[in-house]
């Protein structure tokens, strides 16, 4: 939930925050409102997969009077550029509601020419990020964000550094950015005024859209540009038309009649906005030829429009080779780079083409019966179930980063439909599977449930990585380079299929989202059916994909849970990575309303060093998720990673907000140590003063090997027992050097491992002994993001020094311990490692899978590239790491158990040889539960002349004997020999006390 600042803050800060929160919806006005505006921008023209061959800029008159644009210009600069290219506008009076189309550079891609442009330039615009301005002058502007009387309108998009208010979203090769309400909307905030959508260039001949006047919607048609059919077979295409405010109620042929080409099965729209449908039928007897067919649609408002379909009836080329023959049994087609004609049933259409499969197949499991037909942006009328004959070039497509290629047909010259109503029976396959190449392009069904192993690219690419069970990082379980690790690497490689959505661009809506607006890693999908594809995947590289032909049905087999319930102890500790919690934002403002601020990295302080929220609105969303997570964990002390290194400012603000959410002053900041490092982020601690007391000040290790110094603090629990907590954030695995020991050694530990090993050695060899000595107590708990999986070298350094890996101890017996999902594999980078003396006092450990299993697209970021905003203030996806929670049952080093045991001693016998009195002593557990050892038996009250000859040592002035039994079960007895010296031969008597633990 959203919370106000704590009452502990100053009134000035409260006032500033309230003002900022109240004004979040108000744009920053950069230019005065104008009648003439930029209404649409498209920079993807001519790119691969583009809709149009040219870039363009569209201008619009949103005013009530004509405006002469003689001497005006549109100008373009790159996203970060300050040099502006000028294209002059024509000397015309732009009428109210009239558009003006400025054509720009042409590329090699694209399929459609623009409508007749009103002005032309040669500027090659970026398809995703740039700046466009409208000027009442032809003089080129200067600077990255021009202003002044000559700048009439400015639109910055993508990652541009010049814009009005806030930057507009990024267009693409298939999407433009267009001003709201057909160009009428103008709030002087690019992010509010512009949205991505279908590319719809308009020129001065387009229908007027007078702002403020009655809106007249036109009939919109949906017709294929062409219909190619095989002679003697016939075929059909479905045509549609709709009108937002009218009912399309008629369709007719507007072209000269052709025998055998007719309209049939017309269905009028039921209500305004619905589509009318009609079938264009081409009879089998229509001879070879090209037939341009015009179809007219009309509505109940006396409006009409038409669409043109080029019908081509062609003779069938002979089949040169079947699909299995083209595929072959090798890694590449034996007919690569040759033109072939083949035939198959259409199994699926996707964004860039369609799949066909040989209905009979060749019976050879090593050759695929299916193949992909790449058509790019060229629309086709083929539909699943149709038998088509295709002529094209056999091509081995190798996506960037792929180790193998994928056979397809491209540069297609003929696609002829022969008949419809065919079906293909899917082939049954299972995972793991290292022979998916043999079914590429084929319709398949996975016979076992598959597990979601990654969802990071669900929003950006519509992808989910699937596998048979969760895939574990090999070095999470086995040492790097071991035979077991190598075997798991190989097993993981064959245990991946990426479920795609058939679109290949950012999906318009997030697919596969289910209950609670999420689909979690660990969820499963059964009876998955679709066509096997191969291509680039999110995060780089390539993989086999499944393009579904039936809607996948997911099961929430990994449900969201509340915070972990652990065996009770007397101290709860948590480790939480808060994913760049910065109170200074990347736009240079901060949470206190100041502007022109920066973050410090080394000796540099700039806003570019900031890593968290981009602005106050994002920060509020981030803050609320993190507060919800920490409040739910309710730990007595929390070690934090990735919090801004700005003194105590960020951590103090977080504590204030956490206390405000709780409704009382519950948490406090552990004062920072002398050194917090030179990175932009640091580690920190917060704690509950009512539960724990600070013993001494915080310590840190400023040795040069630590880019983020570890922080240690000793605490005293309510029962007087002490322990020390050490919070760490070792060197990350990213930004790899190209050579040296810190380069990626290809042993699954990624890069910077040598540095992390040195950091671990420094930690246990120098810093922890310093901490334990200062505390006067050997109980030390090491937590934090160590950027090392469970069996990697740095962790082995720490456990080799006597620390116990508590996640392996408590979590591994019931499943894979993990706190992070990367590359479709799960493992834990976040650790709980206890010293040998503390480990017996660890009652339980758990990871709370509140973050790693959740899709990135539901996080706090306000991102125009997100298809939907599924944000809520619940703790899920507060970070990318799961928190680790530890229950400590801190006990004294020893405790008196005399009352819980029965004592027995034998009579003493004098040995004349040794001159000693000997016997036995025994004690029996009279309780109902086992008592943990070891045990110490203290012999008090011995006469002054008598001594215990076989004493282990002395405690509180009395001799004792150690009994090194691990435990004493109910009813069990422990016994040992005793030997006394008694030179004065006095009567021997004593009072025995039994203790569990060590003196």
- Reported as a single tens digit per residue, the pLDDT across 358-403 is 999 999 999 999 999 999 877 788 999 999 999 999 999 999 889 8
Residue 463's DSSP bridge partners are none
By three-state DSSP, how is residue 655 classified? helix
Closest CA to 190 of 38, 78, 24, 77: 38
445-453 average pLDDT score: 98
- Whether the per-residue pLDDT at 15 is higher than 60: the answer is no
Instruction: Give the chain's mean pLDDT.
Output: 93
864-889 average pLDDT score: 94
Closest CA to 440 of 387, 472, 402, 482: 402
- Whether the per-residue pLDDT at 270 is higher than 70: the answer is yes
Euclidean distance between CA atoms 852 and 810, whole angstroms: 19
CA 498 to chain centre: 15
DSSP state of 60: E
Determine the pLDDT at residue 343: 97
Confirm if 380 and 350 have CB atoms less than 8 A apart: no
Confirm if 940 and 984 have CB atoms less than 8 A apart: no
- Whether the per-residue pLDDT at 615 is higher than 80: the answer is yes
Determine the pLDDT at residue 648: 98
Closest CA to 103 of 130, 76, 121, 78: 121
283-294 average pLDDT score: 94
Euclidean distance between CA atoms 553 and 527, whole angstroms: 8
Length of the chain in terms of residues written: 999
Percent of the chain with pLDDT over 70: 96
pLDDT in tens, 342-363: 999 999 999 889 999 999 999 9
CA dihedral defined by 281, 282, 283, 289, rounded to 10 degrees? Answer: 170
Closest CA to 451 of 462, 464, 466, 430: 466
Which of 100-114, 135-149, 553-567, 677-691 has the least mean pLDDT? 100-114
Euclidean distance between CA atoms 413 and 408, whole angstroms: 14
Sign for the CA dihedral angle at 939, 945, 946, 951 comes to: positive
- Whether the per-residue pLDDT at 2 is higher than 80: the answer is no
Determine the pLDDT at residue 11: 30
Determine the pLDDT at residue 7: 30
Q: Which two tokens stand for residue 510?
A: 């997030």
Residue 105's φ and ψ, nearest 5 degrees, are -60, 150
* Vertex 960 angle, CA 954 and 961, to 5°: 130
- Whether the per-residue pLDDT at 4 is higher than 60: the answer is no
Confirm if 850 and 518 have CB atoms less than 8 A apart: no
* Vertex 337 angle, CA 334 and 341, to 5°: 80
- Whether the per-residue pLDDT at 255 is higher than 70: the answer is yes
Confirm if 538 and 855 have CB atoms less than 8 A apart: no
215 — pLDDT class (breaks 50, 70, 90): low
Determine the pLDDT at residue 189: 92
Euclidean distance between CA atoms 505 and 521, whole angstroms: 22
Ranges 34-48, 199-213, 544-558, most confident: 544-558
Q: In what order do the strands lie in the sheet with 235-242?
A: 220-222, 235-242, 275-282, 261-267
- Burial group, residue 35, by CB count within 10 angstroms (0-12, 13-18, 19+): middle
Q: Which residues contact 271 (CB under 8 A, 6 or more apart)?
A: 247
Determine the pLDDT at residue 475: 98
Confirm if 502 and 533 have CB atoms less than 8 A apart: no
- Whether the per-residue pLDDT at 10 is higher than 80: the answer is no
- Select the more confidently predicted residue: 20 or 410: 410
- Whether the per-residue pLDDT at 145 is higher than 50: the answer is yes
- Burial group, residue 298, by CB count within 10 angstroms (0-12, 13-18, 19+): buried
- Whether the per-residue pLDDT at 919 is higher than 90: the answer is yes
> Count of CB atoms within 10 A of residue 922's CB?
15
- Beta-carbon-side half-sphere exposure of residue 88 (alpha carbons within 13 Å): 7
Euclidean distance between CA atoms 353 and 86, whole angstroms: 38
* Vertex 457 angle, CA 867 and 616, to 5°: 55
Long-range contacts formed by 767-772: CB under 8 A, 24+ apart: 767/699, 767/701, 767/710, 767/712, 767/726, 768/712, 768/726, 768/801, 768/835, 770/699, 770/701, 771/699, 771/712, 771/714, 771/724, 771/726, 772/724, 772/835
- Whether the per-residue pLDDT at 932 is higher than 70: the answer is yes
Euclidean distance between CA atoms 152 and 82, whole angstroms: 17
What Å distances lie between residue 902 and 401, 603, 905, 921, 978, CA to CA?
A: 73, 69, 10, 11, 17
- Whether the per-residue pLDDT at 32 is higher than 60: the answer is no
DSSP line for 313-349: EEPPPPP-S-HHHHH-SSSS-TTTTSEEEEEEEEEEE
483-503 average pLDDT score: 96
- Whether the per-residue pLDDT at 72 is higher than 80: the answer is yes
Determine the pLDDT at residue 108: 78
pLDDT in tens, 75-98: 999 998 999 999 999 999 999 999
């Amino acid at each position: 939930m959203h919370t106000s600042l704590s009452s502990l803050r100053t009134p000035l800060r409260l006032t500033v925050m309230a003002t900022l929160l109240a004004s979040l919806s108000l744009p920053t006005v950069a230019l005065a409102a104008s009648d003439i505006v930029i209404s649409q921008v498209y920079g993807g023209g001519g790119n691969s997969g583009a809709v149009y061959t040219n870039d363009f800029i569209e201008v619009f008159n949103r005013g009530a009077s004509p405006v002469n644009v003689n001497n005006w210009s549109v100008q373009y600069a790159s996203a970060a550029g300050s040099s502006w290219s000028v294209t002059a506008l024509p000397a015309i009076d732009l009428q109210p509601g009239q558009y003006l189309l400025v054509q720009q550079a042409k590329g090699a891609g694209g399929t459609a020419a623009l409508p007749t442009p009103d002005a032309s330039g040669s500027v090659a615009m970026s398809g995703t990020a740039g700046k466009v301005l409208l000027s009442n002058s032809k003089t080129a502007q200067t600077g990255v964000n021009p202003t002044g009387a000559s700048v009439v309108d400015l639109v910055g998009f993508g990652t541009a550094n010049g814009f009005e208010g806030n930057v507009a979203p990024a267009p693409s090769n298939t999407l433009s950015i267009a001003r709201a309400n057909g160009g009428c909307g103008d709030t002087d905030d690019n992010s509010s005024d512009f949205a991505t959508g279908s590319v719809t260039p308009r020129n001065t001949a387009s229908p007027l859209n007078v702002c403020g006047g009655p809106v007249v919607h036109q009939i919109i048609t949906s017709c294929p540009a062409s219909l190619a059919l095989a002679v003697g077979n016939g075929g059909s295409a479905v045509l549609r038309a709709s009108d937002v405010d009218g009912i399309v109620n008629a369709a007719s042929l507007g072209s000269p009649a052709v025998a055998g080409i007719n309209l049939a099965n017309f269905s009028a729209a039921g209500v305004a906005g619905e589509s009318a449908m009609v079938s264009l039928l081409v009879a089998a007897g229509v001879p070879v030829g090209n037939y341009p067919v015009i179809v007219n649609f009309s509505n109940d408002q006396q409006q009409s429009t038409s669409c043109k379909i080029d019908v081509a009836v062609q003779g069938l080329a002979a089949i040169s080779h079947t699909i299995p023959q083209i595929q072959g049994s090798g890694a590449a087609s034996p007919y690569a780079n040759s033109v072939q004609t083949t035939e198959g049933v259409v199994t699926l259409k996707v964004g860039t083409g369609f799949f066909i499969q040989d209905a009979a197949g060749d019976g050879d499991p090593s050759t695929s019966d299916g193949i992909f037909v790449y058509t790019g942006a060229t629309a086709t009328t083929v539909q699943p179930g149709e038998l088509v004959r295709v002529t094209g070039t056999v091509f081995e497509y190798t996506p960037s980063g792929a180790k193998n290629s994928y056979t397809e047909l491209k540069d297609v010259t003929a696609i002829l439909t022969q008949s419809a109503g065919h079906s293909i029976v899917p082939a049954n396959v299972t995972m793991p599977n290292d022979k998916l190449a043999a079914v590429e392009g084929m319709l398949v069904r996975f016979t076992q449930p598959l597990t979601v192993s990654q969802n990071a690219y669900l929003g950006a690419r519509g992808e989910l990585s699937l596998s048979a069970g969760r895939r574990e990082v090999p070095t999470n379980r086995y040492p790097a380079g071991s035979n077991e690790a190598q075997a798991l690497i190989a097993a993981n490689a064959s245990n991946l299929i990426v479920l795609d959505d058939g679109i290949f661009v950012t999906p318009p809506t997030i697919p596969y989202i289910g209950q609670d607006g999420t689909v979690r890693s660990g969820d499963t999908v059964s009876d998955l059916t679709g066509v096997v594809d191969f291509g680039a995947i999110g995060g780089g590289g390539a993989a086999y994909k499944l393009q579904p032909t039936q809607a996948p049905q997911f099961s929430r087999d990994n449900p969201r849970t509340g915070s972990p319930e652990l065996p009770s102890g007397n101290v709860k500790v948590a480790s939480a990575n808060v994913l760049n919690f910065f109170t200074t934002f990347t736009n240079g403002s901060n949470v206190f309303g100041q502007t022109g601020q920066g973050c410090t990295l080394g000796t540099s302080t700039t806003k570019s060093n900031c890593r968290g929220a981009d602005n106050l609105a994002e920060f509020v969303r981030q803050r609320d998720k993190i507060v919800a997570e920490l409040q739910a964990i309710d730990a007595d002390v929390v070690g934090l990673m990735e919090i801004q290194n700005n003194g105590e400012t960020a951590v103090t603000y977080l504590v204030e907000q956490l206390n405000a959410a709780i409704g009382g002053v519950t948490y406090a900041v552990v004062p920072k140590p002398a050194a917090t490092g030179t990175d932009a982020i640091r580690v920190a601690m917060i704690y509950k003063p009512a539960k724990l007391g600070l013993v001494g000040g915080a310590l840190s290790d400023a040795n040069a090997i630590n880019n983020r110094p570890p922080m240690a603090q000793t605490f005293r629990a309510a029962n007087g027992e002490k322990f020390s907590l050490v919070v760490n954030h070792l060197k990350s695995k990213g930004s790899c050097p190209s050579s040296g020991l810190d380069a990626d050694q290809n042993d699954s530990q990624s890069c910077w491992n040598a540095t992390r090993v040195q950091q671990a050695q420094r930690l246990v060899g120098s810093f922890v002994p310093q901490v334990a000595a200062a505390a006067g107590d050997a109980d030390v708990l090491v937590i934090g993001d160590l950027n090392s999986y469970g069996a990697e070298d740095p962790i082995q350094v720490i456990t080799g020094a006597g620390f116990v890996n508590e996640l392996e101890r408590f979590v591994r017996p019931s499943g894979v311990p993990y706190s992070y999902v990367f590359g479709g594999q799960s493992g834990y980078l976040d650790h709980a490692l206890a010293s040998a003396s503390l480990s017996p006092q660890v009652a339980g450990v758990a990871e709370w899978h509140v973050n790693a299993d959740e899709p990135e697209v539901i996080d706090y970021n306000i991102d125009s590239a997100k298809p939907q905003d599924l944000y809520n203030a619940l703790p899920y996806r507060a970070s990318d790491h799961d928190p680790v929670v530890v229950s400590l049952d801190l006990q004294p080093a020893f405790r008196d158990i005399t009352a819980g045991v029965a004592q027995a001693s034998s009579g003493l016998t004098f040995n004349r040889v040794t001159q000693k009195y000997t016997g036995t002593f025994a004690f029996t557990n009279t309780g109902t539960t086992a008592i943990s050892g070891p045990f110490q038996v203290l012999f008090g009250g011995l006469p002054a002349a008598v001594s215990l000859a076989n004493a282990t040592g002395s405690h509180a002035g009395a001799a004792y004997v150690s009994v090194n039994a691990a435990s004493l079960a109910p009813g069990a007895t422990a016994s040992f020999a005793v030997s006394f010296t008694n030179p004065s031969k006095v009567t021997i008597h004593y009072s025995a006390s039994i203790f569990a633990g060590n003196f």
